[in-house]
Amino acid sequence: MIILEKIIALQKKTPHIRNLCILAHVDHGKTTLADCLVASNGIISSRLAGKLRYLDSREDEQIRGITMKSSAISLHYTTGGNEYLINLIDSPGHVDFSSEVSTAVRLCDGAIVVVDAVEGVCPQTQVVLRQAWLENIRPVLVINKIDRLIVELKLTSQEAYTHLQKILEQVNAVTGSLFTSKVLEERAEKDAEAQSSCTENGSGDQVYDWSAGLEETDDSDLYFSPDRGNVVFASAIDGWGFSIHQFAEMYSQKMGIRSSVLLKTLWGDFYLNAKAKKIMKGAQSKGKKPLFVQLVLDNIWSMYDAVVTRRDKEKVEKMVTSLGLKVMSRDLRHSDPKVLLSAICSQWLPVSQAVLSMVCEKLPSPAEISAERVEKLMSVGARRFDSLPEQTQELKKAFLDCSADETAPVIVFVSKMFAVDSKALPQNKQRPLTQEEIAQRREQARQRHAERQAANQSAESPGSADTGGASTTVAPASGTEALSVKTAVEEDNKEHFVAFARVYSGVLRKGQKVFVLGPKYDPSLALRLPEGCSAADVLPSVPHMACCTVDSLYLLMGRELEELDEVPTGNVLGIGGMEEFILKSATISTSPSCPPFTPLNFEATPIVRVAVEPKHPSEMPKLVRGMRLLNQADPCAEVFAKIEISASKPIIPFRETVIRPPKVDMVNEDMGKQQKVAVIHQVKEEQTKYPEGVQVDSTGLVTLTTPNKMATVGVRAIPLPEEVTRLLEDNVELIRTMEQFSLFVWEDKTLDINQKILENIQEFKVKLESNLQGRKWRGAVERIWAFGPRRCGPNILLNSVEGYRRPSVWQCLEREKETEKAEIRDFDNSIASGFQLATLSGPMCEELLMGVCFSVETWDMKLSAPLAHGAEAAGSSVDCYGPFSGQLIAAMKEACRYAFQAKPQRLMAAMYTCEIMATAEVLGRVYAVLSKREGRVLQEEMKEGTDMFIIKAVLPVAESFGFADEIRKRTSGLASPQLVFSHWEVISSDPFWVPTTEEEYLHFGEKADSSNQALKYMNAVRRRKGLYVEEKIVEHAEKQRTLSKNK
């Protein structure tokens, strides 16, 4: 309880707060490190640190041994005479839970990035560094598991030094590439500004500057380096860790060298010249031991050698006394040397001290939030910060001040909702009793006992008025007890949602009235509200805004929650009673002009779905409730409904596309012609079964007329180059912004788009142009009509109608120069809608299309003028085929589908990439599993200094179920892959392929459906969707036989 009071007091000292999260690849030791830090506060015993994994509070986390949910804990730490409050969030490292990392990173100002000294930088390490970068939070580095270098790899201290240097280089390379891309971006921005001001002034002399700006920008405090104090070397499991500060202090006393000198030279190419008593440069070239090896690593190596390897009791005792440590004799006698080791090392170089003092020194406090980060948080999507309403812009000051004044507006961001068992809530928890309460209870019990005895005695003499009274007072008491038990049982089944949040300004109090702003809230709507209004007033309803009262506030202490009355700015907290108002994330404020925070950066893409239904249909409502809770809690799977459900097999998505007709070289073509017997004609005829009214010419142009014969459209499908498809996929946000802009123009409104976004759009356009080269694509980019499906997908509708100039989709780029009046033809929208529908579900198995360009080449309308201009609405000439616009949509959709079918069609499969680490012995088995599942190895390399191979491979999602398990089984648990969605890939085989030549007949037989992977996938999807599957089950009935007879 002392801790709690201390923490509450510290919460008010904003400059002494550090909000940070621990990030790393899976299994690099985040939770173990967190354990050591938690133990330093006496919350768990230091003997159990590393074994308990205190922050993995869920049962399934303990069983599986991995973290699945991020959880927070508040710690205090004293260094340099100052007390600090550290709000620590442990995050999961497995890709499957990467959304939890995003929610954690948003609430922090700094991060501890943990890297395994053996495995080095792994894919997820890069991802978390990127995430920290995107959220503008400052990272520090902990290189963990140094003990593995000694015990497992048996490196010498010199080798270990080289190895550690390499790891640092790897980490810095990742940071460096992030930094370079940012500088170049800023540079381009500045250039654009300079250019625009240049043209405004019309000044004649031009200065060309071709430096990239990299030289001028100071990036030195960005990189990790031990001499900058942002790196700690540790072994969390053995409880030790150090930064070179500690050794510099130690040796400056011992050797009489100033510690500032040691700080500069302990890491790097320096050595000690014992004769001259000098530190010299050039250890490597002169073949000397670097200072770091001699003064730091050698000590640790000899400690491990004495304690673990040789178990030399005398030497250990000597070392212990020379270091001035005290070791309990039971540790000295323990049969496991690791126990003794951690007892010594955790005293000598306590990891918590090294890490926490680095954190307090190097990471910023909440008050130091940068203006850049604030603007990033406040400007949603494409909106420019200075296009936000004035009151909203004023709030930037509140963020920067980070003040806990009464007058400061309250701004809180909720990044996720997490479920807590109602028993675990502090209100419902049994408090430990105080001494007086215990005494009181004892007294009560004694009285009751005495009464009962008295009653028993008087029962022998019935009719006593006394006893009657006593029994009536007892009865109701037991009644209420029973009642409360019942309600408690009901409560038991209830999960409570607690909002995981942080205060950015002001003080959040229990019982306060606040606005809850959803992610889609528009702060300009606040202008409509009366000035100076608060959430306590009766206000007109505004979309995505709700008013509510803060129910309860919690301090997050790992698995415990402590109730609080108020939380000042800069702290991480839990808020109860918000489940009605918040789905996943929200912004809470006392000011209605507060903008919602930018959405979180989620790194993972959800690919696979399942359909679920309850086993007993009567339990449907429960399932619905469970699903709703699940949705609120997390994208990860978990069921709250506690009923039996049956889940479908995983639903694997595919995409459909067309490709260019395959090229056959001349010789082969000739041979093909000879062999392709008459069958070929038959097949051709079968395939080109187009209904009446659809004309298809030999080049694949499909012409279709609406039922009322009023309009004709001619459409051709063209495969888009792969780069273009990828470009379209990567720039969905930009396309959406463009679409929004066009919509605003359509409604005669304007949308202010951020300068940077405009530039990105321009860049996107240039890239498109450079990828769409050649005669076929001349001027195509300007003629883009729409993107689809859903207006922003990877397919293009192209306007190739002669003489039709419609407003370009790029109009947001051409705001200034008034383009010549382009007009929109009537029913323009119907054509686009037809295209959207067609791309939404393709003809093969009703999956989305991808990488297809539909070029509208003719569009004739034989409309009498009045029909086009609203006569239809008047009802005078409604034809029997329904509204004309609808007919046109349907015709366009059909035309697109036939155009698609006129080309060679292919399925596209979603692909995972995975990185597998395996030893040489099991390599062959890994390959066997991969090739069985249609995987493809991209790269194989040996991890330096180890006997591990790293294999990078891609694998279709459809083949991935049970993959991780199979690999683990086949390699006896030595290799464990993580699958990450990477891209869509065309399956090269043609689903409609049938054998046509004699040779193929011989080889595949007549049906040939056994070998066709694409057909297999397509039919599986068709079957699932209840579509017609073309399959012969029984072909020659007379040839059937019963197996049992023949056997």
Ligand X SMILES: Nc1nc2c(ncn2[C@@H]2O[C@H](COP(=O)(O)OP(=O)(O)OP(=O)(O)O)[C@@H](O)[C@H]2O)c(=O)[nH]1
Residues that bind ligand X (CB under 6 A): 24, 26-32, 53, 66-67, 92-94, 144-145, 147-148, 235-237
Cβ proximity to ligand X: between 235 and 299 the closer is 235
- b vs e for 79-113, b when ≥16 Cβ sit within 10 Å of the residue's Cβ? eeeeebbbbbbbbbbbbbbbbbbbbbbbbbbbbbb
In 235-312, which ranges are continuous DSSP H helix?
244-255, 259-265, 283-286, 291, 298-304
The 10 Å Cβ neighbour count of residue 673 is 11
Nearest approach, Cβ of 419 to ligand X (angstroms)?
19
Cβ proximity to Mg ion: between 67 and 632 the closer is 67
Contact between 124 and Mg ion per CB under 5 A: no
Please, which of residues 11-30 interact with Mg ion by CB under 5 A? 30
Cβ proximity to ligand X: between 706 and 978 the closer is 978
CA distance 882 to 759: 45
By a kind-dependent CB cut-off of 5 to 8 A, residue 933 interacts, out of Mg ion, ligand X, none, with none
CA-wise closest residue to 140 among 165, 112, 179? 112
Cβ proximity to ligand X: between 235 and 569 the closer is 235
By a kind-dependent CB cut-off of 5 to 8 A, residue 39 interacts, out of Mg ion, ligand X, none, with none
By a kind-dependent CB cut-off of 5 to 8 A, residue 545 interacts, out of Mg ion, ligand X, none, with none
By a kind-dependent CB cut-off of 5 to 8 A, residue 32 interacts, out of Mg ion, ligand X, none, with ligand X
Beta-sheet strands, E only, within 693-809: 694-696, 701-705, 711-719, 784-788, 795-799
Cβ proximity to Mg ion: between 4 and 43 the closer is 43
Nearest approach, Cβ of 152 to ligand X (angstroms)?
7
Contact between 783 and Mg ion per CB under 5 A: no
Cβ proximity to Mg ion: between 143 and 508 the closer is 143
Cβ proximity to ligand X: between 66 and 911 the closer is 66
Give the residue closest to ligand X by C-beta. Answer: 93
Cβ proximity to ligand X: between 94 and 676 the closer is 94
Nearest approach, Cβ of 136 to ligand X (angstroms)?
24
CA distance 594 to 413: 11
By a kind-dependent CB cut-off of 5 to 8 A, residue 979 interacts, out of ligand X, Mg ion, none, with none
β-pair partners for 647: 612
Please, which of residues 56-85 interact with Mg ion by CB under 5 A? 67
Cβ proximity to ligand X: between 29 and 506 the closer is 29
Nearest approach, Cβ of 90 to Mg ion (angstroms)?
6
Contact between 467 and Mg ion per CB under 5 A: no
Residues in the chain: 1047
CA distance 726 to 730: 6
CA distance 99 to 417: 12
Question: Is residue 766 within 8 Å of 816, Cβ to Cβ?
Answer: no
Cβ proximity to Mg ion: between 31 and 125 the closer is 31
Cβ proximity to Mg ion: between 96 and 401 the closer is 96
Contact between 591 and Mg ion per CB under 5 A: no
CA-wise closest residue to 413 among 497, 496, 500, 498? 500
CA distance 918 to 472: 76
Q: Is the dihedral of CA 499, 502, 504, 508 positive or negative?
A: positive
By a kind-dependent CB cut-off of 5 to 8 A, residue 138 interacts, out of ligand X, Mg ion, none, with none
Contact between 585 and Mg ion per CB under 5 A: no
Provide the token pair at 396.
């930037």
CA distance 538 to 534: 9
Provide the token pair at 416.
């996720």
The H or E element spanning position 458 is: helix 435-459
Nearest approach, Cβ of 32 to ligand X (angstroms)?
3
By a kind-dependent CB cut-off of 5 to 8 A, residue 839 interacts, out of ligand X, Mg ion, none, with none
Nearest approach, Cβ of 340 to ligand X (angstroms)?
16
CA distance 382 to 370: 21
* Terminal-residue alpha carbon distance, the chain: 79
Nearest approach, Cβ of 146 to ligand X (angstroms)?
7
CA distance 884 to 984: 38
By a kind-dependent CB cut-off of 5 to 8 A, residue 566 interacts, out of ligand X, Mg ion, none, with none
By a kind-dependent CB cut-off of 5 to 8 A, residue 27 interacts, out of ligand X, Mg ion, none, with ligand X
Nearest approach, Cβ of 145 to ligand X (angstroms)?
4
Size of residue set near Mg ion by CB under 5 A: 3
CA distance 41 to 36: 9
By a kind-dependent CB cut-off of 5 to 8 A, residue 383 interacts, out of Mg ion, ligand X, none, with none
CB contact set of 696 (below 8 Å; sequence gap of 6+): 688, 690, 702, 703, 898, 902
By a kind-dependent CB cut-off of 5 to 8 A, residue 236 interacts, out of Mg ion, ligand X, none, with ligand X
Nearest approach, Cβ of 122 to ligand X (angstroms)?
11
Cβ proximity to Mg ion: between 53 and 897 the closer is 53
Question: Is residue 260 within 8 Å of 251, Cβ to Cβ?
Answer: no
User: Helix, strand, or coil here: 289?
Assistant: coil
DSSP classification of residue 235: E
Nearest approach, Cβ of 1012 to ligand X (angstroms)?
41
Cβ proximity to ligand X: between 67 and 299 the closer is 67
By a kind-dependent CB cut-off of 5 to 8 A, residue 960 interacts, out of Mg ion, ligand X, none, with none
Inter-axis angle of helices 313-323 and 337-348, nearest 10? 20
CA-wise closest residue to 425 among 585, 548, 575? 575
β-pair partners for 695: 703
Instruction: Among 11, 14, 19, 31, indicate the residue that binds Mg ion (CB under 5 A).
Output: 31
By a kind-dependent CB cut-off of 5 to 8 A, residue 29 interacts, out of ligand X, Mg ion, none, with ligand X
Provide the token pair at 890.
């349907």
Catalog residues that contact Mg ion under the rule CB under 5 A.
30-31, 67
